Amino acid sequence: MMDNIYLEDEKFRIVSYVKAIDCIRPKAKFSIIEGDLSSLDWQDEKYPRPSDDEIMEEYARLENYYLQTKYQILRKHEYPDFHRYLDGIVKGDHLQIQEYIDACLNVKLKYPKPEPSKDEFE
């Protein structure tokens, strides 16, 4: 079973103010105490500082992306080792191949792909 701390680390890797600002101004220089947008210290003269609204909008987009792809992170850590599948093919062991397929399908059932958000169609 996947550790919740790992899942939170993955979320932080994808969703943070630092990531949001970096998406808006990829080469800009700044510092920030994570989790505190008011601590943003803009140190770049070449690129203008994005507004708080721009940053929050990008943060929300990243969070939505995380929520739409979280199932992939969860599945990745529970899928069986693909070597078992290949071993079954090499040995001609149809039972081993089917067990691998069944294990994969169970992971897919445990962590279903979410329905697309309405925003994706607008």
Both 52 and 39 in a single domain?
A: yes
Both 8 and 48 in a single domain?
A: yes
Residue 81's identity, in one-letter code, is: D
- Domain span at residue 45 reads 1-77
The count of structural domains within the chain is 2
Both 69 and 58 in a single domain?
A: yes
Mean pLDDT, rounded, for 73-101: 95
- pTM metric for this prediction: 0.65
Both 107 and 62 in a single domain?
A: no
- Mark out the alpha helices in 15-121 (DSSP H runs): 17-24, 52-76, 82-91, 94-110
Both 68 and 90 in a single domain?
A: no
Both 91 and 39 in a single domain?
A: no
pLDDT at 100 over 70: yes
Both 1 and 56 in a single domain?
A: yes
Both 49 and 95 in a single domain?
A: no
Integer Rg of the chain from CA:
21
pLDDT at 7 over 80: no
